[in-house]
């Protein structure tokens, strides 16, 4: 979490890029703590947050430097980055 926030700050990107993901991550962690159980599915979902935030930051930075890009993160949090070169 700190790494992503520090990266956003260093790249001078709006922190709201990852805010919603951090809030959802916090809820997931609270649920895991409450249940005192980490299933394989929960673990995979948990790991996907870092990947999703990283691709979101990358897309925001590319847009900042003039490269059109958007991050697509379906509910499964499988992250794909598309840019204008892939059309």
Question: In the chain, what are the domain boundaries?
Answer: 2-86
Query: Residue written as tokens 């649920």?
Result: 31
Rounded CA gap, 35 and 31, in Å?
6
pTM: 0.70
Per CATH, the architecture of 2-86 is what? Up-down Bundle (1.20)
Helix or strand holding residue 8 (H, E):
helix 2-10
Rounded CA gap, 87 and 83, in Å?
8
Mean pLDDT of successive 10-residue stretches along the chain, which has 87 residues: 87 90 89 91 84 89 92 56 47
């Amino acid at each position: 979490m700190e790494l992503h926030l520090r990266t956003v700050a260093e790249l001078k990107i709006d922190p709201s890029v990852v805010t919603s993901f951090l809030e959802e991550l916090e809820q997931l962690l609270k649920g895991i703590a409450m249940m005192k159980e980490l299933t394989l599915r929960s673990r995979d979902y948990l790991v996907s947050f870092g990947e999703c935030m990283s691709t979101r930051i990358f897309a925001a930075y590319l847009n900042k430097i003039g490269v059109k890009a958007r991050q697509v993160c379906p509910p499964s949090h499988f992250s794909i980055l598309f840019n204008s070169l892939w059309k």
